[in-house]
Structure 1
């Protein structure tokens, strides 16, 4: 302070009646610090929303409110000091005049404060003399205080109008006592007719509930208010049967629950909360908030409806945490941000909160050009950002963003939060993102139970995001596949897996080639699982299925009924062929042998297989088809085929429940499909081979074609002798034995083996 403060003979309180225009009010008494000034509007303490000038001045100063109070509002300004001594003079220390003056000034100001409070008490007139002493507790219990004929204090019987309690042991009480148990807004003049300004009555009721530590009840009806309302943390809770209709100025919170600063608002219970805006906000000012809850701990909140604000609901840590509480969410509608999980200071936190339900929705005509979000995690500049362990159970999001150039995303994560879980989410007309992360959030899990817009729901990481910390579990049309975690087979690159079977035919590793029109009278598995066929096309990334062609995995289904097929292709068509234990084809007998998870299955008599009723236009690795086979199906071919139009297939994968490990059939006798290598052997007794001479033998290798790589070996020692091999004709490998030594060699009888590798 430039000059030492002077505590004059000025009452530490001043009152005004607002005219609805002025926002500046003068206080003529000195205060030491801005926190020493208490501002009340019709009895409700104003927390924030004001600028105080003149602290430390002997002549007082001015208060500027953020908005002019409504006309008729009683504005009270008074000095409120903590009655405590925080300093001490040291023995033999230097006693400075300024320090002594500071202490005396504070004492005088505190005495003035006490005198101001005493002035409002019941007391004897100075001319009356004497004293008033209450009777002992036992004498005044259940009695009424009054005055006798001489004016002295006495007690009277309260009368016999007691209200009995119809239970054993119940204590009769006066009717007024019983009625006093229930504190309601109508006790303070609130009407709930939707027309009258019930703001002053609601503010008075909330102030009374906070002062008395009671639960406030707001009954049925629409309680219109033109002023923001605050229910202080002193109140035990709030029960609402009706709704608060906020018709006040923009840039305010309609209803605030709990105290800010470092106060802990614990064990509160708020039920049936409904806060509606009379006219929807512009969505431009984030100070337009429907409901703010501050510093809740171990509390229960039931929100029935919040509608029409920029931010619908905000849970707020203010110099202390919002934690360990349960929120039941109802309709949170037509708010730009439905729920804002926020911290305001570095010493605050927002953690360990459970959320149940919640319908976050936007009307189809509400600001169609503006972004909207269901739940936001945020922090004020410099505030705590590691929000953690927030669990959302079964919320629904209907954000009207599909087909529009705007964002309509269930979760917006602007902080470095940890372990935010969303379970069984519903997404209706949202963007194809379940969340947008802009920072270093980690360990987030989003389980999407249903999504209307696409199968490919993911997390959008902006340029500012520094962690990839989320998992998306999309179960819509893919729930069965989530349990199919054992990989039976995979061909991650069909272009690389192709096998040149001959000059015109191609096969593929692990896969059988399929035809929609098999000639002759095929009846067994081997008749349909071709090792290679012609008319396959190729691109840089995969194989193009042209007319009459398909690809499939051949599986032993005797021990496993369900298989999950994932295909990376343009618009594939699912096909399944079924065989019995003898590997004979099973056809349609009126009973479906195959069912799928994402579409209907129909029988194609010409191709002799079951096929999907439509192309899987959106099938990807995250949206596979689960195929269930009937009990009499022992073997199956599961794959895709070209039905209506040519399309490219780039990768295929087949999986099943990890309880099973069904064999994949390929590259084996009788089923040579899917194998790149072929081997054969034969007994042979080579003749004696002269020096520099050769001997030859032909080995039958089914599938060998001229141009394949071939090699040979012999079962006995071959020192001095070289074995050469080549495919001399279709299905035949010619083995040549060359004696490179200078003497004749007779190898003796043994086994010659041939190996063919296709390119």
Structure 2
């Protein structure tokens, strides 16, 4: 060999599928000579028609065929070494490293070949030792099957022995007939499942057989058309469907009934994969037209994958026994007037403590456009038990195609005295603006709406006949954070009542700063933008009309709390947020995005110097409720609304935050006087001695005092005989008059005079 090769950890075989063009195939393992390589085409050993390159190379080489193997041929390349010594070391001779390495390389490669062959052989598990795996003599094993006895040793069996046993310790031999009878299949009784043949008689025969034997019935893949209603008695262990039942039978009957009625208790049942489709969609007029009826179940599990085209898709029914403690996994309920009917049939029956997961209740947009439809109904037959309690729904989805139509499309309908019906994560698409309708004494229902095309105006409809209230709707769509903000920072429940006459031409509002879209001069601080009063506000009977250039907002200390929820009762308000740093200096967009809103994008308005919502806060735009998050550099903020596109009336405002925080609301401060109806000031004063009937005056500076304000004054010392009068003669000044109305001279002495004005 020209050089010493290296034997790496490479499997000594390679497999290829020929494409009809390729002639060269690589083998990645080393060989010592071309004869060491076996070449097979379609498992047949080849003796010629190819050349081998790369013998003696560590990285292997190639097999090059004279003609490309046919497309799809399996090409197998395998190293196959003779197990033999290739050298002999002489006594007292020179032991050369190259000779020794070549011998060891050859032996290592040969061991790799052996390991590759034994890898495909049947072997004992490493955890086992001993055992007899020797084949019986030729005559003893002729015409018999090789297997293993009860000790796991090799043995043989007669080829015609009609028993089977599982290949596990403790397995008992059973006849093939017994093994096949473990589960009944509808095909065992002649069902075809081609969607054309009438499989009704075969399906019913299979259901009767399952009940008679207590077996679990299996309806395999396919569509099983039936011209008759079907019933699986409660004596059957359960039902698994991998196909679908296509109901083409008479109207006004249940297509599939599971379980026994009357006083029979159907406990610990398993019904899975249920699919029942009506061949022609019902006219929705007959409530006896039902897809699936589940009777008197207890501690059972039901999976409904599809039920379509009936007046009532599926009904859970409590008769003389109840329907309780059962789990239903709901799939697609399509084109049914009532998707799921939770019902009692007798005064002794009940329907309670049931869990429901999922469910897509949907109606085609063009189907029965003049008829009401409901997703889930809680109902009772006349005179039946009406206290349906503790039903839990998780993640139901409703697309009822009623929005904008003069019909009802409502997810839940309670006609009974139901209690503790909870539904979480509801999705409402194209429904009426009600998540539920109650017509009886239902109470303690909880509906959590995760998404609704109706926005925030989703409620419970208490129809005529309803005798109880007390149910709760949690509307989380576009307002999840808003719902969690339970601490009220500030509230102005009536803008009209909160309005105050700041001056003869200016109007202010309690707790609120008046805002302007265009502040003159060179404003730069918070107090330059939060005005106590401005003109152009128009008071209405219920609130205030915001006209061009005007806004209202709460001023908050945001150094600890970063998020605030704003709720506004107004026709179409526009959100605005103005930001300031720890020194109360204005922050512009040069500092980057400073405010985010929960339901819309905020853009910086350079003229007004605030961040402004991209759309009005309306229900139609799903923007009524907004949460505002402030950037870390924002220490103070004005959060409110402004008139941007059109005049609108504002009636109430409310600001909340996470209950972990209690941020200060800033108003009525010496440096920030807005939002305060009452203003006070005091002044040290030593009035002169006053003769009987004499008076004296002093001017008390009081910023914000305006002519027409109600004014009062008092003195810190006893004033028997002296009357203090106050009036606003000039802006920001209260003139206090001390008048001696007694008949003697009085000298009060030095004290403090206090002035107070109240805005009308």
Would you say same fold, with TM above 0.5?
yes
For residues 268 and 688 of structure 1, the distance between their equivalents in structure 2, rounded to whole angstroms, comes to 102
Look up the match of 2:231: 230
Q: CA deviation at 1:620?
A: 12
Look up the match of 1:716: 717
For residues 453 and 536 of structure 1, the distance between their equivalents in structure 2, rounded to whole angstroms, comes to 32
Give 1:730-741 correspondences, 5 Å limit. Answer: 730-741=731-742
In structure 2, relative to structure 1, the CA distance for the partners of 1:725 and 1:393 (3 Å cut) is: same
Q: 1:362-400: CA deviations, max 9, x gaps?
A: 011111111110000000000000101000000100001
Look up the match of 2:704: 703
Look up the match of 1:273: 274
Q: Is 1:176 aligned to residue 155 of structure 2?
A: no
Look up the match of 2:372: 371
- 1:568 touches 1:620 (CA, 8 Å); kept in 2? no
Q: CA deviation at 1:598?
A: 1.1
**Which has the larger displacement, 177-186 or 571-580?**
177-186
For residues 285 and 342 of structure 2, the distance between their equivalents in structure 1, rounded to whole angstroms, comes to 19
Q: CA deviation at 1:177?
A: 1.1
Q: 1:105-134: CA deviations, max 9, x gaps?
A: xxxxxxxxxxxxxxxxxxxxxxxxxxxxxx
Look up the match of 1:320: 321
Q: CA deviation at 1:325?
A: 0.2
Give 1:135-214 correspondences, 5 Å limit. Answer: 160-214=161-215
Look up the match of 1:303: 304
Q: CA deviation at 1:455?
A: 2.3
For residues 302 and 273 of structure 2, the distance between their equivalents in structure 1, rounded to whole angstroms, comes to 8
Q: CA deviation at 1:656?
A: 0.2
- 1:254 touches 1:291 (CA, 8 Å); kept in 2? yes
- 1:456 touches 1:622 (CA, 8 Å); kept in 2? no
- 2:341 touches 2:376 (CA, 8 Å); kept in 1? yes
For residues 621 and 722 of structure 2, the distance between their equivalents in structure 1, rounded to whole angstroms, comes to 55
For residues 617 and 169 of structure 1, the distance between their equivalents in structure 2, rounded to whole angstroms, comes to 71
Larger radius of gyration: 2
In structure 2, relative to structure 1, the CA distance for the partners of 1:323 and 1:158 (3 Å cut) is: farther
- 2:287 touches 2:311 (CA, 8 Å); kept in 1? yes
Look up the match of 2:451: 450
For residues 405 and 623 of structure 1, the distance between their equivalents in structure 2, rounded to whole angstroms, comes to 25
- 2:479 touches 2:626 (CA, 8 Å); kept in 1? yes
- 1:569 touches 1:620 (CA, 8 Å); kept in 2? no
Q: CA deviation at 1:532?
A: 0.2
- 2:317 touches 2:323 (CA, 8 Å); kept in 1? yes
Q: 1:499-544: CA deviations, max 9, x gaps?
A: 1011110000000000000000000000000000001011111100
Gaps of 5+ in 1: 1-156
- 1:299 touches 1:325 (CA, 8 Å); kept in 2? yes
In the alignment of these two chains, the number of paired residues is 603
Q: CA deviation at 1:454?
A: 3.2
SS of 1:667's equivalent in the other structure is coil
Look up the match of 1:32: none
Q: Is 1:752 aligned to residue 753 of structure 2?
A: yes
In structure 2, relative to structure 1, the CA distance for the partners of 1:619 and 1:709 (3 Å cut) is: farther
In structure 2, relative to structure 1, the CA distance for the partners of 1:621 and 1:188 (3 Å cut) is: closer
Look up the match of 1:394: 395
For residues 377 and 166 of structure 2, the distance between their equivalents in structure 1, rounded to whole angstroms, comes to 50
Q: CA deviation at 1:704?
A: 0.5
Look up the match of 1:687: 688
Give 1:347-496 correspondences, 5 Å limit. Answer: 347-496=348-497
For residues 619 and 197 of structure 2, the distance between their equivalents in structure 1, rounded to whole angstroms, comes to 56
Q: 1:240-282: CA deviations, max 9, x gaps?
A: 0000111011111000000000110000000100001011111
Q: 1:559-603: CA deviations, max 9, x gaps?
A: 100000000000100000000001000000262100000111000
- 2:211 touches 2:233 (CA, 8 Å); kept in 1? yes
Q: CA deviation at 1:618?
A: 2.1
SS of 1:513's equivalent in the other structure is strand
- 2:478 touches 2:623 (CA, 8 Å); kept in 1? no
Look up the match of 1:345: 346
Q: CA deviation at 1:171?
A: 1.2
Q: CA deviation at 1:159?
A: 8.1
SS of 1:688's equivalent in the other structure is coil
Look up the match of 2:507: 506
Q: CA deviation at 1:463?
A: 1.5
- 1:567 touches 1:619 (CA, 8 Å); kept in 2? no
Q: CA deviation at 1:617?
A: 2.2
Look up the match of 1:108: none
SS of 1:207's equivalent in the other structure is helix
Q: Is 1:524 aligned to residue 525 of structure 2?
A: yes
CA RMSD in angstroms comes to 1.4
Look up the match of 2:600: 599
Give 1:567-578 correspondences, 5 Å limit. Answer: 567-578=568-579
Look up the match of 1:332: 333
For residues 258 and 162 of structure 2, the distance between their equivalents in structure 1, rounded to whole angstroms, comes to 38
Q: CA deviation at 1:722?
A: 1.0
SS of 1:585's equivalent in the other structure is coil
- 1:569 touches 1:619 (CA, 8 Å); kept in 2? no
Look up the match of 2:87: none
Look up the match of 1:678: 679
- 2:678 touches 2:757 (CA, 8 Å); kept in 1? yes
SS of 1:606's equivalent in the other structure is coil
In structure 2, relative to structure 1, the CA distance for the partners of 1:321 and 1:158 (3 Å cut) is: farther
For residues 431 and 419 of structure 1, the distance between their equivalents in structure 2, rounded to whole angstroms, comes to 23
For residues 322 and 753 of structure 2, the distance between their equivalents in structure 1, rounded to whole angstroms, comes to 81
SS of 1:209's equivalent in the other structure is helix
For residues 354 and 589 of structure 1, the distance between their equivalents in structure 2, rounded to whole angstroms, comes to 54
Look up the match of 1:261: 262
- 1:722 touches 1:737 (CA, 8 Å); kept in 2? yes
Q: CA deviation at 1:198?
A: 0.7
- 1:567 touches 1:620 (CA, 8 Å); kept in 2? no
For residues 577 and 651 of structure 1, the distance between their equivalents in structure 2, rounded to whole angstroms, comes to 20
Q: CA deviation at 1:160?
A: 3.1
Q: CA deviation at 1:161?
A: 2.0
Look up the match of 1:294: 295
Look up the match of 1:667: 668
SS of 2:483's equivalent in the other structure is helix
Q: 1:392-425: CA deviations, max 9, x gaps?
A: 0001000011121111110011111000011000
Q: CA deviation at 1:695?
A: 1.0
For residues 616 and 354 of structure 1, the distance between their equivalents in structure 2, rounded to whole angstroms, comes to 38
For residues 342 and 165 of structure 2, the distance between their equivalents in structure 1, rounded to whole angstroms, comes to 48
Q: CA deviation at 1:749?
A: 0.8
User: What TM-score results when the alignment is normalised by the length of structure 1?
Assistant: 0.78
Q: 1:195-240: CA deviations, max 9, x gaps?
A: 1111111111101111111100001101111111110010110000
- 1:566 touches 1:619 (CA, 8 Å); kept in 2? no
For residues 496 and 474 of structure 2, the distance between their equivalents in structure 1, rounded to whole angstroms, comes to 30
- 2:422 touches 2:446 (CA, 8 Å); kept in 1? yes
Q: CA deviation at 1:164?
A: 2.7
Q: CA deviation at 1:469?
A: 2.7
SS of 2:325's equivalent in the other structure is strand
Q: 1:439-475: CA deviations, max 9, x gaps?
A: 1100000000001133211011111111113110010
- 1:571 touches 1:619 (CA, 8 Å); kept in 2? no
